[in-house]
């Protein structure tokens, strides 16, 4: 065990910090902006921001160089993540590409697919969305019914996806389709990449409880997709899908958001007067705050442990199964504590003139609950930990 | 940047788990726990042969000179076994106090035999009001011509009954930081030990009176309040490590049982209520383990964050252990409520761990204060 960074890593950290200090946009984008609506101008600003991070060499540090990465070890990536938290850098619009489909293509894609898609993920020229869930298939994802038939060297896709985040502005979708309806449900699924501008695709935005258009219904009516857009083998998409889910759950369980939320909660509590003293001096709230801080720190070291395992080339074991469950629930608990801290002001909508902290928390409180559901609910995470991790018998 | 155990630490863990499975299985643990002394001389001797008592003792006093993380790895396994005996209190806490604050004379007299397994030390800190701040203490050490005279009554002293010496915390003045640690032989004139009945059968507790006990100058450990706080941190980390091991054990017991016990025609482990309870223990436990490792590492290597890290680890590990133990008992149904079933030993040990060296609320308050809020 050695938590010291090498002099080179320390120098790298200073360099990242300086760069962020000088380059974080001062207007337009708010740090840690969760607004999912993404009007055209915000979207454009966010793409520019990502592009600049990429040009500076601070994006996808562990990806191979030929695809726009830096071929560095994961420690550098974690340094960048930490500095982004510290400086409250704006979110990356291409996160689903960078953290989900990108790593999946690196493992499962062929050379042509890697060369075609990976660089544009980083430059934000192509924004991705995830077409997994359907009206009849959420937790039971493998029951999905969107059909893809092979006609010549194309897939012809018919069906519907739902809850598709970002589909209203995405350029590409990684999508699960049924290619063999007669096979057992896990063995007839394929993983394909669909151009969102293809004829036959209709995107209908759905309004989330936050009031934003964060996710969508996506309809497919004889949509033609070239066969070369198949990732992995035909009918073996379930394995590929799970690779993406694994990356997604790590992204959702990422501790950078968690630390950012805790810092903001602490600032809020210190600035909030209750009974003539700051809330941080209220013995009950102090206990709660400390308990949250302890959980935040525990997840931080838990992730460092997994980072070390990955550098050492070791299987992280049971630990990796809990990231999504622990991280998303902790984020929601942090936001819930902030709502309590705000007292009656928690009743105000985020755009009311009297809203505290510019309406950040009521939104965050809802958004974080959405992530307890998205990517596989907490119930499903617990099933997975018990059945795959602890080998308890399946109920079915 | 490397946050993981070394190969040697992995080996220590493996060999400890193997040793304790053979020498201190549940059957043996129960036997020792129900015996009056609450320790097995045979087991203590075998541990001494492995060099465990001297693990963190400097080499020049016959120890292995290892650090708190190595000790935490070992204590996790002791907690897994619910191993009865003074080991944690003597070899992790008293040994640290002596190594950090004792002069050559006192360490030759006590630390060397501690390392070889020929002596054990007990730490006597809290009193009837169970506070940990020096201002909570009534026990005093008054300067006298031949050293210091100690007067006071210490409560809840783990394994006082079998100790060769005590490390006693006493006030050395009226200031908030006027506290000293003194080494007192168990057979010194004026020391009286009155056993208490502990809830946790795998530990022994006693009330110890110090009535005009004379401590020569070399018996006062160097370091005053700073050393006292370090010793509290060592205690917190040691108990936290034991707790992680205990939580792992109750989880393993419950999961194993859930795979074989059948109701409604199938293993109870196929019911989601049981699965989710088990998964929640895992989700609590895995991050808590990383936190305990961090605290143990920080204790040796990151002085600036060591106290806060120890407080975090203690609060979290104890919460996690108690919650896990409660869930695990429930997962066993009626059999888990019996004296015959072993799980109550861990259930009660979790509760004792909560109290020892500061309960979770005390440590959360410390985390807040040290974190600047
Ligand atoms: C904010 C947000 C963003 C999303 N973004 C995307 C996206 O971009 N792409 C995409 O494909 N999907 C997305 N989703 C969909 C998400 O993956 C699903 O909502 C989720 O998997 C649950 O499926 P469902 O909504 O059909 O609920 P259901 O599966 O119908 O679940 C309803 C309830 O039943 C419980 N349940 C179901 N099965 C079990 C079981 N076996 N054991 C115990 N409890 C069970 C669930 O936990 C839940 O509480 C998003 C969802 C949200 C909330
Ligand atoms: C203090 C005490 C006093 C008692 N006194 C009496 C008495 O006077 N008379 C009498 O007849 N009995 C008595 N009992 C027995 C008591 O009713 C049973 O212990 C209880 O019903 C559980 O049954 P079990 O012990 O066989 O556990 P099991 O049924 O084997 O259950 C083991 C675990 O599996 C869980 N489980 C089992 N089935 C399911 C399911 N379908 N879904 C989810 N979880 C499940 C249980 O909740 C439990 O956590 C007493 C028990 C105790 C602890």
Calculate mean pLDDT across residues B40-54: 98
| Same domain (yes/no): B208, B96 | no
More confident residue, A90 or A279: A279
Q: What is the pLDDT of residue B173?
A: 96
Calculate mean pLDDT across residues B21-25: 98
- Binary contact (A309, B4; C-beta < 8 A): yes
- If you search the block for the tokens 């530990």, which residue do you land on? B203
A237 in Cβ contact with A214 (< 8 Å): no
| Same domain (yes/no): B194, B314 | no
| Same domain (yes/no): A231, A260 | no
Calculate mean pLDDT across residues A335-352: 95
> Residue A265's domain is classified under what CATH number?
1.20.140.10
Helices (H), chain A: 7-23, 40-55, 74-86, 95-96, 102-108, 111-122, 237-252, 255-271, 283-312, 323-341, 360-373, 378-384
Closest Cα to atom 43 of ligand 1: A379
Domain assignment of residue A104, yes or no? no
Domain count, chain A: 3
| Same domain (yes/no): A224, A318 | no
**Which of B3, B259, B364 shows the shortest C-beta gap to A392?**
B259
Please identify, by atom number, the ligand 2 atom nearest to the C-alpha of residue B331.
Answer: 49
Q: Which domain holds residue B57?
A: 7-118
> What's the rounded Cα separation, in Å, for the pair B270 and B260?
10
A249 Cα to the center of ligand 1, angstroms: 13
Q: Which domain holds residue A87?
A: 7-93
Q: What is the pLDDT of residue A358?
A: 85
* Residue A36, pLDDT above cutoff 60: no
Q: What is the pLDDT of residue B333?
A: 98
| Same domain (yes/no): B236, B362 | yes
* Residue B42, pLDDT above cutoff 90: yes
- Report chain A residues whose CB lies below 8 A from the CB of B270: 392-395
Domain assignment of residue B1, yes or no? no
* Residue A319, pLDDT above cutoff 60: yes
| Same domain (yes/no): B110, B149 | no
Of chain B, the percentage scoring pLDDT greater than 90 comes to 100
pLDDT band for position B224 (cuts 50, 70, 90): very high
* Residue A277, pLDDT above cutoff 70: yes
pLDDT band for position A315 (cuts 50, 70, 90): confident
Domain assignment of residue B242, yes or no? yes
Residue B309's closest CA among A327, A86, A297? A297
Calculate mean pLDDT across residues B309-335: 98
- Its pTM surpasses 0.90: yes
- If you search the block for the tokens 């998964």, which residue do you land on? B279
- With a 6 Å cutoff on the Cβ, whether B339 touches ligand 2 is no
| Same domain (yes/no): A179, A228 | yes
| Same domain (yes/no): A372, A283 | yes
For A147, phi then psi, to 5°, come to -100, 140
| Same domain (yes/no): B47, B60 | yes
Chain centroid, CA B156 distance in Å = 13
Please identify, by atom number, the ligand 1 atom nearest to the C-alpha of residue A375.
Answer: 17
Catalytic hit among A83, A126, A236, A248:
A248
A153 in Cβ contact with A229 (< 8 Å): no
Measured N-to-C along each axis, helices B272-301 and B68-81 cross at an angle, to the nearest 10 degrees, of 150
Of chain B, the percentage scoring pLDDT greater than 70 comes to 100
| pLDDT tens string A362-394 | 999 999 999 999 999 999 999 999 999 999 999
* Residue B106, pLDDT above cutoff 80: yes
Query: Could you give the 3-state DSSP secondary structure of residue B125?
Result: coil
| pLDDT tens string A56-84 | 999 999 899 999 999 998 889 889 988 98
Domain assignment of residue B38, yes or no? yes
B333 Cα to the center of ligand 2, angstroms: 5
| Same domain (yes/no): B236, B257 | yes
Which of B157, B191, B222 is the last residue in one of the domains? Answer: B222
| Same domain (yes/no): B218, B234 | no
- For A114, the token pair is 């890697």
* Residue A91, pLDDT above cutoff 70: yes
- For B225, the token pair is 């309040």
> What's the rounded Cα separation, in Å, for the pair A128 and A108?
17
Please identify, by atom number, the ligand 2 atom nearest to the C-alpha of residue B274.
Answer: 44
Q: Is A382 on the interface with B (CB under 8 A)?
A: yes
Q: What is the pLDDT of residue A29?
A: 65
> What's the rounded Cα separation, in Å, for the pair B352 and B325?
12
* Residue A40, pLDDT above cutoff 70: yes
DSSP A253-295: T-HHHHHHHHHHHHHHHHH-EETTEEGGGSHHHHHHHHHHHHH
Measured between CA atoms, the residue of chain A closest to residue B286 is: A319
Question: CB-hemisphere CA count at 13 Å for B161?
Answer: 15
- Pairing relation of β-strands A172-178 and A128-131? parallel
The shortest C-alpha distance from A286 to chain B (Å) reads: 7
Q: How far is CA B279 from CA A326, B265, B286, B320, in A?
A: 11, 23, 11, 13
Calculate mean pLDDT across residues B256-277: 98
Calculate mean pLDDT across residues B117-130: 97
Instruction: Report which DSSP code applies to A59.
Output: S
| Same domain (yes/no): A216, A269 | no
> What's the rounded Cα separation, in Å, for the pair A228 and A235?
14
Residue B292's closest CA among B332, B353, B243? B243
- With a 6 Å cutoff on the Cβ, whether B341 touches ligand 2 is no
| Same domain (yes/no): B101, B168 | no
> What's the rounded Cα separation, in Å, for the pair B254 and B342?
12
A109 in Cβ contact with A64 (< 8 Å): no
Q: What is the pLDDT of residue B327?
A: 98
Query: Could you give the 3-state DSSP secondary structure of residue B44?
Result: helix
pLDDT band for position B280 (cuts 50, 70, 90): very high
Q: Is A323 on the interface with B (CB under 8 A)?
A: no
* Residue A27, pLDDT above cutoff 90: no
**What stretches of A88-226 adopt beta strand conformation (E)?**
128-131, 147-151, 154-162, 172-178, 189-195, 201-206, 215-226
A189 Cα to the center of ligand 1, angstroms: 19
Domain assignment of residue A149, yes or no? yes
């Amino acid at each position: 065990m050695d938590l010291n960074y090498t002099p080179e890593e320390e120098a790298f950290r200073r360099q990242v910090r300086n760069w962020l200090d000088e380059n974080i946009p001062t207007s337009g984008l708010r740090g840690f902006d969760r607004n999912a609506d993404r009007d055209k101008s915000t979207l454009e600003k966010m793409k520019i921001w990502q592009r600049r991070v990429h040009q500076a060499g601070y994006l996808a540090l562990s990806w191979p160089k030929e695809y726009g990465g830096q071929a560095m070890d994961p420690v550098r990536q974690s340094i960048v993540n930490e500095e982004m938290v510290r400086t409250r850098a704006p979110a990356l619009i291409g996160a689903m590409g960078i953290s989900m489909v990108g790593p999946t293509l690196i493992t499962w894609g062929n050379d042509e697919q890697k060369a075609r898609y990976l660089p544009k993920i980083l430059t934000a020229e192509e924004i991705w969305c995830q077409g997994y869930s359907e009206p009849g298939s959420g937790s039971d994802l493998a029951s999905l019914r969107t059909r893809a038939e092979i006609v010549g060297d194309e897939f012809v896709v018919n069906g519907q996806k739902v809850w598709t985040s970002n589909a209203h502005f995405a350029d590409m979708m990684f999508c699960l389709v049924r290619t063999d309806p007669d096979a057992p449900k896990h063995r007839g699924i394929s993983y394909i990449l669909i151009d969102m501008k293809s004829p036959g695709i209709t995107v209908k935005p759905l309004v989330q409880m936050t009031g934003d258009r964060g996710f969508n219904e996506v309809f497919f009516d004889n949509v033609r997709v070239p066969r070369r857009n198949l990732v992995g083998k035909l009918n073996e998409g379930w394995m590929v899908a799970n690779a993406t889910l694994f990356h997604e759950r790590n992204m959702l369980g990422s501790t950078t958001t968690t630390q950012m939320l805790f810092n903001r909660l602490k600032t809020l509590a210190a600035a909030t007067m209750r009974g003539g003293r700051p809330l941080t001096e209220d013995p009950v709230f102090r206990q709660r705050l400390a308990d949250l801080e302890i959980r935040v720190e525990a997840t931080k070291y838990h992730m460092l442990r997994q980072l070390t395992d990955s550098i050492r080339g070791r299987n992280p074991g049971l630990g990796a199964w809990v990231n999504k469950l622990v991280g998303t629930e902790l984020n929601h608990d942090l936001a819930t504590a902030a709502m309590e801290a705000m007292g009656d002001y928690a009743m105000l909508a985020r755009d009311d003139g009297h809203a505290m902290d510019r309406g950040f928390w009521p939104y965050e409180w809802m958004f974080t609950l959405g992530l307890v559901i998205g990517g596989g609910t907490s119930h499903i995470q617990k099933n997975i930990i018990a059945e795959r991790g602890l080998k308890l018998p399946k109920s079915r | 940047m490397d946050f993981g155990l070394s190969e040697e630490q992995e080996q220590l863990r493996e060999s400890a788990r193997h040793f304790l499975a053979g020498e201190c299985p549940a059957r043996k643990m129960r036997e020792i726990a129900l015996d009056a002394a609450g320790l097995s001389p045979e087991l203590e001797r075998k541990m001494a042969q492995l060099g465990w008592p001297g693990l963190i003792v400097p080499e020049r006093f016959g120890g292995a000179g290892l650090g708190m993380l190595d000790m935490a790895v070992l204590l996790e396994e002791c907690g897994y076994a619910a191993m009865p005996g003074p080991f944690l209190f003597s070899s992790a806490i008293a040994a640290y106090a002596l190594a950090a604050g004792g002069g050559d004379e006192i360490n030759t007299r006590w630390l060397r035999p501690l390392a070889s397994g020929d002596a054990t030390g007990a730490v006597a800190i809290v009193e009837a009001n169970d506070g940990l701040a020096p201002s909570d203490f009534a026990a005093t050490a008054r300067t006298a011509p031949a050293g210091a005279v100690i007067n006071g009554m210490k409560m809840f002293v783990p394994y006082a009954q079998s100790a060769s010496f005590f490390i006693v915390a006493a006030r050395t003045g009226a200031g908030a930081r006027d506290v000293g640690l003194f080494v007192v032989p168990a057979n010194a004139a004026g020391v009286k030990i009155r056993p208490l009945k502990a809830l946790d059968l795998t530990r022994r507790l006693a009330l110890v009176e110090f009535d005009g006990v004379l401590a020569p100058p070399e018996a006062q450990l160097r370091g005053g309040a700073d050393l006292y706080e370090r010793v509290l941190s060592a205690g917190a980390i040691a108990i936290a490590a034991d707790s992680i091991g205990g939580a792992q054990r109750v989880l393993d017991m419950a999961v194993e049982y859930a795979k074989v016990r059948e109701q409604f025609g199938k293993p109870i482990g196929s019911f989601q209520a049981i699965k989710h309870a088990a998964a929640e223990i895992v989700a609590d436990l895995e991050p808590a383990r990383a936190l305990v490792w961090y605290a143990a590492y920080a204790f040796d290597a990151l002085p600036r964050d060591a106290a806060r890290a120890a407080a975090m680890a203690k609060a979290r590990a104890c919460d996690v252990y108690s919650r896990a133990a409660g869930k695990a008992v429930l997962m066993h149904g009626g059999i888990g409520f019996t004296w015959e079933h072993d799980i109550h030993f861990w259930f009660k040990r979790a509760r004792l761990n909560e109290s020892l060296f500061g309960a979770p609320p005390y440590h959360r308050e410390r985390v807040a204060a040290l974190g600047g809020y």
